[in-house]
């Protein structure tokens, strides 16, 4: 069911369209395997792709179709990053200082507890933001099949969080496998996400910059909260970002040494010309070389939102992590990657860099 009570309008299969985009054909409407924001996001694929997520609609038209419905259509020009260079260390230190804040009291409180799941318990938490007089909301999920202190994954979602107006239906399919395998998950609701949505979208490069910095501070304050909990392992903390959430990772990691590893799925270096209009203090390229922790990066080779050559490969090359501690996995897919293979990669990575989880009732 759609958000307005309608049925079967999106999320069954993506529909092949006649229109070309370069050497690809458009596929629209989102599929059962996609995050729900793909209903309205652009996607195109090679016409030779045979995916269970792609289908087509049969129709007989009583008159000729307008050319606008059949002509090639390119959504946006892609930026060529080959000539881009990160700023110097001196300039970067100035940029980094923008993300700093005074370590004031969190004034945290647990607002609600939900024990209805057989696999995990859920706590709704709030604490003071590092700016203005706002409160950050976060959901802490604690596994039932492991012993504390739990290895913890801080999760930042994709575009759904910016569009939805309530966190009642979080994208738990992104993290449920972590909980079932004994990891705790902290899911912060940053400014501009879910019920913390903005009254009007950020407009202009400076307003967008201010929002991105506030969101990064929300994530760092979430780590502050983790360190107040005795049931969470402060030395075994991972960042996990999906799609839009990938862009937060390098900015937070470069400014905060408390993360031990990071997983980035479905993102890349911003590829559109409009992204390049943002100020340097939020440009991803300036943070990537300063990331030194182990990184697992996963993408689909036909991802239309983060193209392989213009976005994925340049980002991976720019990461400052040593070659032995960074891994790039490319799936034969689009923006959405196959879940079984993703789960295997993520759990293998966490076991290697955080160690195995503590089994239930294990002795201290």
Q: What is the mean pLDDT of the chain?
A: 91
Q: How far is residue 64's CA from residue 66's CA, in Å, rounded to a whole number? A: 7
pLDDT at 59: 82
Interior/surface letters 64-89, b for 16+ CB within 10 angstroms, e for the rest: eeeeeeeeeeeeeeebebeeeebbee
> pLDDT tens digits for 291-323?
999 999 999 998 888 889 889 999 999 999 999
Banded pLDDT at 361 (limits 50, 70, 90): confident
Taken in order of first residue, the domains within the chain and their CATH numbers are 14-69 (no CATH), 83-354 (3.40.50.1820)
Query: Of 136, 185, 191, 137, whose CA–CA distance to 162 is shortest?
Result: 191
Q: How far is residue 138's CA from residue 110's CA, in Å, rounded to a whole number? A: 10
Per-residue pLDDT, averaged over 229-235, amounts to: 97
Q: How far is residue 6's CA from residue 1's CA, in Å, rounded to a whole number? A: 6
Residue 357 has pLDDT above 50, yes or no: yes
> pLDDT tens digits for 150-183?
999 999 998 888 888 899 888 898 999 999 999 9
The one-character DSSP state at 102 is -
Alpha helices in the chain (DSSP H): 89-97, 160-163, 176-180, 205-226, 248-255, 313-318, 339-354
pLDDT at 115: 96
> pLDDT tens digits for 104-147?
999 999 999 999 999 999 999 999 999 989 999 999 999 999 99
For residue 110, list its beta bridge partners.
125
Per-residue pLDDT, averaged over 70-88, amounts to: 82
Per-residue pLDDT, averaged over 34-46, amounts to: 79
Query: Of 266, 335, 345, whose CA–CA distance to 31 is shortest?
Result: 335
Query: Of 324, 348, 147, whose CA–CA distance to 238 is shortest?
Result: 348
Q: How far is residue 222's CA from residue 240's CA, in Å, rounded to a whole number? A: 13
Q: Considering the entire predicted model, what is its pTM?
A: 0.88
Q: Where do the DSSP E strands lie in the chain?
A: 14-21, 24-28, 44-45, 54-55, 109-114, 120-128, 135-143, 150-156, 184-189, 232-242, 261-265, 295-300, 326-331
How is 135-157 classified by DSSP, letter by letter?
EEEEEEEEESSB-SSEEEEEEE-
């Amino acid at each position: 069911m759609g958000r307005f009570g309608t049925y079967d309008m999106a999320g069954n299969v993506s529909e092949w369209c006649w229109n070309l985009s370069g050497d690809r054909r458009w596929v629209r409407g989102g599929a059962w395997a996609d995050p729900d924001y793909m209903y309205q996001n652009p996607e195109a694929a090679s016409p030779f792709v045979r995916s269970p997520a792609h289908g087509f609609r049969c129709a007989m038209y009583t008159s000729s179709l307008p050319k606008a419905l059949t002509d090639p259509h390119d959504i946006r020009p892609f930026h060529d990053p080959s000539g881009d260079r990160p700023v110097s260390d001196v300039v970067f230190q100035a940029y980094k200082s923008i993300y700093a804040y005074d370590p004031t009291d969190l004034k945290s409180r647990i607002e609600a507890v939900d024990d209805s799941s057989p696999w995990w318990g859920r706590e709704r938490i709030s604490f003071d933001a590092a700016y203005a007089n706002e409160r950050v909301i976060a959901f802490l999920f604690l596994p039932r099949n492991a012993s504390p202190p739990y290895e913890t994954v801080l999760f930042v979602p994709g575009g759904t969080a910016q569009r939805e107006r309530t966190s009642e239906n979080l994208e738990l399919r992104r993290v449920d496998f972590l909980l079932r395998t004994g990891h705790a998950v902290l899911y912060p609701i940053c400014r501009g996400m879910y019920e913390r949505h903005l009254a009007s979208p950020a407009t202009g490069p400076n307003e967008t910059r201010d929002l991105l910095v506030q969101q990064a501070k929300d994530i760092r304050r979430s780590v502050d909260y983790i360190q107040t909990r005795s049931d969470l392992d402060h030395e075994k903390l991972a960042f996990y970002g999906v799609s839009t959430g990938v862009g937060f990772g390098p900015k937070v990691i470069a400014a905060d040494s408390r993360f031990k590893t990071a997983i980035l799925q479905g993102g890349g270096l911003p590829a559109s010309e409009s992204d390049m209009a943002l100020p340097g203090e939020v440009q991803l390229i300036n943070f990537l070389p300063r990331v030194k922790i182990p990184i697992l990066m996963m993408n689909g080779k036909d991802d239309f939102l983060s193209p392989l050559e213009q976005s994925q490969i340049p980002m991976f090359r720019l990461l400052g992590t040593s070659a032995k501690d960074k891994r790039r996995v490319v799936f034969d897919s689009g923006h959405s990657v196959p879940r079984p293979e993703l789960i295997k990669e993520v759990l293998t990575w966490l076991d290697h860099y955080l160690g195995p989880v503590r089994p239930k009732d294990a002795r201290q």
